[in-house]
């Protein structure tokens, strides 16, 4: 890996590659207070992320095809936390206190591996989050398509497809990043475009469910009863995830803007560029803190489980049916439908 060639596409270039930006940040020695703040954020973020993983794992409010991708994306945050720890290790081992490079690693140096692993984990997480809104749309799209029995059947192939799409997307873009192919301006435009497209598709899919339900309410056919139930469940799910969906999109746009400003405005001095990097980096690393708070108050069942964990009394929330679990309200609903159709 030719670091000198990569660094030549760095901050002084009009359209730097994102890998060169990452390396220029890694080669800027952090102050002690900055390292302490990062460790504080990572520690608090780890506690919050474990809490959110526990809550999501215990909840049964969403279908498994949506529940597991939410859990997996939250778990992926540990990648970026580990990435930052590797960067700090690299700086301690290879950088002087005055920001000078003590031993810029040769081709066979372990420093190369530290930076490469750090970059790969950092961008794999970033691109996984970028793909998350489309994952929700894909899952809700299948829920809209299979409106007669989606909640009653596992359909594990949908989950496999979702995970393949997300990891292929994040893995492919990470490889392009490490190959020093992707420029920052291109990625910023792509990020804005995907955010706008996912929001448009999300609203379109929700309106499609509303229209389908309104049309079925007019029809009195018994065979449409399960479809009405599924559409109501779809709209209920849309209402619960809309706050999380909006939070992710807003944060993605804010981060893209903050990271783009130092690149677009070339007159910004190096100190301010570093300041912008640290601010955006800390916002990303603090993700589990504000996302955990958001999901607890956005989803009733998550709030119920959170209060249970700390022994606080709360009203019981009826979950979505679970495969092979005890009979609950929605199971009885389908049984009554089956009996009525057999008369």
Using one digit for the tens of pLDDT, what is the confidence trace for 220-268? 554 566 677 677 777 777 777 777 777 777 777 777 676 666 655 555 6
pLDDT value at position 220? 52
Round to whole Å and give the CA distance between 182 and 205. 31
Question: Is this structure's pTM higher than 0.85?
Answer: no
State which residues form the domain around 161: 3-342
- Please give the pLDDT value at position 40: 94
Q: What is the pLDDT of residues 287-307, one digit of tens each?
A: 899 888 888 888 888 888 898
> 88: domain CATH number?
1.20.1070.10
Per residue of the chain (343 residues), give pLDDT as tens: 555 555 555 555 566 788 888 887 788 888 888 899 999 999 999 999 999 999 988 888 888 888 898 899 889 999 999 999 999 988 888 776 554 455 555 454 677 788 889 999 999 998 998 888 888 889 888 988 887 777 777 888 999 999 999 999 999 999 998 888 888 778 878 877 887 888 888 889 888 888 887 777 666 554 566 677 677 777 777 777 777 777 777 777 777 676 666 655 555 666 777 777 788 888 888 889 988 888 888 888 888 889 888 888 655 544 444 444 444 444 544 555 555 445 4
Rounded Cα gap, residues 325 and 330, in angstroms: 12
Token pair for residue 94? 């290879």
Residue 275 token pair: 């300041």
Short-list 145, 84, 118, CA closest to 283: 84
Q: How many domains does the chain have?
A: 1
Q: CA 15 to CA 186: how far, in whole Å?
A: 9
Q: Tokens for 187?
A: 């990625």
Task: Give the single-character DSSP code of 101.
Answer: B
Residues constituting the chain: 343
Rounded distance, CA 125 to CA 82, Å? 11
End-to-end CA distance of the chain: give it in Å, rounded: 72
Residue 62, pLDDT score: 83
Distance CA 203, CA 140 (A): 11
């Amino acid at each position: 890996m030719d670091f000198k060639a990569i660094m030549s596409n760095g901050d002084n270039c009009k359209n730097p590659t994102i890998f060169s930006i990452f390396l220029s940040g890694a080669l800027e020695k952090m102050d002690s207070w900055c390292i302490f703040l990062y460790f504080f954020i990572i520690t608090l973020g780890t506690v919050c992320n474990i809490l959110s993983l526990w809550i999501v794992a215990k909840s049964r409010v969403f279908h498994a095809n949506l529940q597991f991708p939410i859990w997996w994306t939250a778990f992926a945050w540990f990648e970026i936390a580990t990435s930052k720890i590797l960067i700090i290790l690299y700086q301690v081992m290879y950088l002087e206190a005055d920001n000078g490079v003590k031993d810029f690693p040769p081709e066979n140096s372990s420093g190369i591996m530290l930076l490469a692993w750090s970059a790969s984990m950092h961008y794999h997480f970033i691109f996984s989050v970028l793909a998350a809104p489309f994952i929700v749309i894909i899952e809700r799209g299948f829920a809209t398509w299979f409106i007669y029995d989606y909640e009653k059947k596992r359909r594990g192939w949908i989950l496999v497809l979702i995970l393949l799409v997300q990891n292929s997307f994040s893995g492919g873009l990470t490889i392009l990043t490490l190959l020093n192919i992707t420029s920052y301006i291109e990625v910023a435009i792509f990020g804005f475009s995907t955010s706008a497209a996912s929001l448009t598709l999300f609203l379109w899919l929700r309106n499609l469910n509303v229209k389908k339900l309104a049309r079925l309410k007019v029809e009195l056919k018994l065979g449409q009863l399960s479809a009405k139930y599924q559409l109501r469940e779809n709209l209920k799910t849309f209402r619960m995830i809309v706050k999380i969906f909006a939070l992710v999109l807003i944060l993605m746009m804010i981060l893209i803007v903050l990271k783009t400003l130092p690149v677009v405005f070339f007159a910004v001095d190096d100190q301010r560029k570093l300041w912008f990097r640290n601010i955006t980096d800390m916002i990303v690393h603090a993700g589990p803190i504000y996302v955990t708070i958001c999901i607890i108050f956005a989803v009733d069942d998550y709030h119920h489980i959170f209060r249970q964990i700390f022994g606080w009394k709360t009203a019981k929330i009826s979950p979505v049916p679970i495969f092979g679990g005890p009979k609950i309200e929605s199971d009885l609903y389908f049984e009554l439908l089956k009996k009525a159709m057999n008369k």
